[in-house]
Structure 1
Amino acid sequence: MGLFPGSFDPLTNGHLDVIHRGRHLFDELVVAIGRNPAKREVFSVDERIAMIGRLVAGTNVRVDAFAGLTVDYARDIGAVAILRGIRNVTDLNFEFQLALTNRAIADVETVFIMTGEVHAFTSSTLIKQIASAGDTSRLAKLLPPEVLEKLEEKKRALGGKLPWRHVDQAEGT
């Protein structure tokens, strides 16, 4: 079993690319939504579980949520490896250090998958920033259609603005 952890707020086509390619490496792939109190949520954990679940229905992927350290959750579910998508060398540097630490403290391996070139610049934070500042239709190539629709609904419900800064960042920055 493999574990693909993240906040997935929102799930991007880059995430979906890693899920679809990574699921072939494991008998089962668990996409696990980590709760991060330092991030402001656009979608609740339950909303993300439901959206991702619909997008991976009928595959060997299941969706779950967890709190705490990823390596502890990986050990709890019996994952043999943590799957990580790499967009660029900055990601690789960070993920490499994290992988070495995870292996040292929990004997959990990490498998890296390079994202497709078209997804190399995509991040959920940038998507939330763009959506909050303007027309969400510009994000059609970056998000699955269902996620884009839910993002548009959420933006309307929140009066046109989406939370995208970390909790500790001031609104004016």
Structure 2
Amino acid sequence: MERLKSVAGQRQRIGVYPGTFDPITLGHLDIIRRGAKLVDRLIIGVTTNPSKDPLFTPEERIAMVTREVAEQGIENVEVVGFNALLMKFAEKQGASVIIRGLRAVADFEYEYQMAGMNQQLNNRIETVFLMADVSLQPIASKLVKEIAQFGGDISHFVTDKVRDDVVERIEMQGRLGDY
């Protein structure tokens, strides 16, 4: 599939929104929905990061993100797995923009440094930061997993289907803590 299709004689603007999405949260979906409005095509790059102790395999996360994006009715989004340097992935996709979500000042510090490094690798690809909706700012996949592992209600942080996926996986793996 050719990624640089012409739209009325112009090059298509492609954005990449990378992450582990383990699991995808309402905060992620907010950034996807808003980021998709900024570009002609948004590619969600589901990456591996073993240091984050993933609950789901990359293939399961790709399927989960694909399902959730379809449920939202966002049509200009494609979900792709990758295990490479972000800038190499973005170049391969023909992206001109990387979209990153910010929740707090701590996120900004890390993301600012990452954007600077990425600019050194390829200054033709811009990084755009989107602030998470204020009601969604505290949500982090890591915290969602911790709450679920101790029997807490995660329904305010993820969709019903994702909640069911997380609870089922935790029970299957016997990772449920004392509560």
TM-score by length of 2: 0.85
Select the residue among 56, 60, 63 that pairs with 1:43: 56
Structure 1 counterpart of 2:9: none
Structure 2 residue 134 is matched with structure 1 residue 117: yes
Structure 1's consecutive aligned runs of 4 or more residues displaced over 3 angstroms after TM superposition are none
**Structure 1 regions of 5+ residues with no counterpart?**
163-173
Which structure 2 residues correspond to residues 82-93 of structure 1 after superposition, within 5 A?
A: 82-93=98-109
> Structure 2 CA distance, aligned partners of 1:13 and 1:27?
22
Structure 2 counterpart of 1:151: 166
> Structure 1 CA distance, aligned partners of 2:79 and 2:121?
25
Q: CA deviation at 1:60?
A: 0.6
Q: Please state whether the residue corresponding to 1:139 is helix, strand or coil.
A: coil
> Structure 2 CA distance, aligned partners of 1:37 and 1:129?
17
Q: CA deviation at 1:160?
A: 4.1
Structure 2 counterpart of 1:168: none
Structure 2 counterpart of 1:170: none
> Structure 2 CA distance, aligned partners of 1:88 and 1:100?
18
- Structure 2: which amino acid aligns with 1:147? V
Structure 1 counterpart of 2:36: 23
Larger radius of gyration: 2
Structure 2 counterpart of 1:171: none
What are the superposed Cα offsets for residues 105-137 of structure 1, whole Å, 9 maximum, x if unpaired? 1222101100001111111111111111223xx
Contact map agreement 1:72 1:106 (CA 8 A) in 2: no
- Structure 1: which amino acid aligns with 2:167? E
Select the residue among 106, 109, 112 that pairs with 1:96: 112
Select the residue among 43, 58, 77 that pairs with 1:61: 77
> Structure 1 CA distance, aligned partners of 2:139 and 2:28?
9
TM-score by length of 1: 0.88
> Structure 1 CA distance, aligned partners of 2:76 and 2:147?
33
Q: Percent identity?
A: 39
Q: Please state whether the residue corresponding to 2:51 is helix, strand or coil.
A: coil
Q: Once superposed, what is the RMSD of the aligned Cα atoms?
A: 1.3
Counting matched residue pairs gives: 160
Q: Please state whether the residue corresponding to 1:56 is helix, strand or coil.
A: helix
